[in-house]
Amino acid sequence: MKAAVIVFPGSNCDRDLADAITKVTGTAPQMVWHAEPTLPEGLDFIGIPGGFSYGDYLRSGAMAARSPVMQAVVQAAGEGRTVLGICNGFQVLTETGLLPGALMRNAGLNFVCREVRLEVVNSQSIFTSRYAAGETVTIPVAHHDGNYFADEDTLNRLEGEGRVAFRYAEPVNGSARAIAGILNDTGNVLGMMPHPERLIEDAQGGTDGRRMFEAVQAALG
């Protein structure tokens, strides 16, 4: 699997994501700086990491979404390449329009940093095939703007089309319908606020996040 991780000014989980990909697949991803106008050729997987791109100025993910490389990411997603946006990466994906809705300030107005329980809603995607539908997993969160919002029609469409990948199994940030992660309409783009890359080996306290990368590796080779 040929992978890349996009790096913005303010990214702070890029190496965590790269390390997770390397440990699961055995191959280190290419690190792509946000100002690059193109992506490396032949990519199978593109990761957009967590952090505080551009210091979260204007609106979380808004400035990063307009970085030169994101035009190439949008094109790659349209061609069917697999794209995963985690935390700030989820925010960036909504700002580009690759995913619907928006991530707003947490309902409690506090930064939330802890492990949370998630319900696996859709186990049929390229990202979730190693999980069981209805299963509860534990994945860390670390965000201040993770409150997912969309209008009722969009929420109903996401639910009806099976595009809700994960739901919080406990109160976390006030997200509409407790949504923690969603897929695009073709299933090759996933945005999620929790950090699966932070739980891939026992030394981190658990391995519930590892299965996501194993699923992607199994699908893409």
User: Which residues have a Cβ under 8 Å from the Cβ of 108 and sit 6 or more positions away?
Assistant: 173, 174
How far is the C-alpha of 11 from the C-alpha of 195, rounded, in Å? 14
Is 87 catalytic? The answer is yes
Query: Which phi and psi (to 5°) does residue 195 adopt?
Result: -110, 90
Is 197 catalytic? The answer is yes
User: Which residues have a Cβ under 8 Å from the Cβ of 156 and sit 6 or more positions away?
Assistant: none
Q: Which residue among 13, 34, 143, 197 is the active-site one?
A: 197
How far is the C-alpha of 196 from the C-alpha of 118, rounded, in Å? 11
Q: Which residue among 13, 87, 95, 119 is the active-site one?
A: 87
| Nearest Cα residue to 210 out of 84, 29, 201 | 201
CB contact at 8 A, 202 and 210: no
DSSP conformation class of 54: G
CB contact at 8 A, 207 and 201: yes
Q: Which residue among 95, 119, 143, 195 is the active-site one?
A: 195
For residue 154, the tally of other CB atoms under 10 A from its CB is 14
The two three-digit tokens of residue 69, written as one number:
């490389």
If 0-12 CB within 10 Å is exposed, 13-18 middle and 19+ buried, where does residue 41 land?
Answer: exposed
Is 195 catalytic? The answer is yes
User: Which residues have a Cβ under 8 Å from the Cβ of 171 and sit 6 or more positions away?
Assistant: none
The catalytic residues are: 87, 195, 197
